[in-house]
Structure 1
Amino acid sequence: MDIGWFLATEGGFGLNFDILETNLINLALVIGILVYFGRKFLGNTLSTRKATIEESIRDAERRKQEAASALAEQQQRLALAQDEAQQILANGEQSAARAREAILMQAQADVERLKANAAQDLTSQQERIVRELRQQISAAAVERAEAELPNRLQGDVQTRLVDASIAQLGGDR
């Protein structure tokens, strides 16, 4: 086959190899067809895409505002929690100081009570020892007197002592 067969010279169908002439015509045809058939499709697609983008932007702005309000609320809660923590810490320090003072006062009272008990115990021990010493001295004196009395008392002295004792008791009748 001959290349000439594909080329039509007069009124037929064929290929035209003139680049400048054929590209402009082809380009105009393609743009015309695209504009005619694609206007509605492309317009609908672009308007749908535009609406989707606008909705996404509005949704993003809404979420941004919600996040900002949530952030502000959480920051406020954090500030309240920090204030409460400071207050709890201050109350704890005050309670510890009061407890320390109460413990010191109780310890001082215990020391004073122990001192008083020790002094009382010391006094009672001294009194008991003095009492025991007196009893021992009295017992020793009575023993010694009983031991020496028979030697010193003779008939005449014994009679006078008995008479004097009866007189003191009121037997003088």
Structure 2
Amino acid sequence: MEMLEQVVARKQTTALMIITCETLRDTAGVLKEAQREILLLTLVEKLKSVLSPRMILAQISGYDFAVIANGVQEPWHAITLGQQVLTIMSERCRLNVFNSVRTVALAWRCFYGDLTAEQLYSRAISAAFTARHKGKNQIQFFDPQQMEAAQQRLTEESDILNALENHQFAIWLQPQVEMTSG
């Protein structure tokens, strides 16, 4: 986060890409630690191969990466880089036990000097969740409507939970009977 704060403080036009590798998450309990380490190192090398030297790659969780894409000023550049990342991340990785094909979700939020580092990060993460929900190997840019949809979902969920706690819900079962057989 410190690197992102520095970029934001300098008001540099950049983009933040969140890369979620579902395969790393899915293999957490399956692979031995050494195999998972090989897979992780292979993924990092593949990612570094498509990033320019100005870009910063960081692992932000057990299966998520962030790229501070310095120099990315236009959405088409972000899309091109995203497609390159999807291509290399989707290639098979030969491990001792099996061939691994990765499922990836990419999310982008471009920065034009209008956000704090925390806002930039949270919006990129929001786009990552949207990309995950859309399915395998998706590229998703942050859209303000995502925040509205997320807020609406949270409000609805809260309303439902409150209604359940206050016994404001009733479940009515309607038996269905086959008319021909009774």
Task: Please say whether Structure 1 and Structure 2 have the same fold, judged by a TM-score greater than 0.5.
Answer: no
Please identify which structure carries the higher strand content: 2
When the two structures are superposed, what TM-score results if normalisation uses the length of structure 1? 0.17
Identify the structure with the greater helix proportion.
1
**Larger RCO (CA under 8 A, 6+ residues apart):** 2
The structure that has the greater radius of gyration is: 1
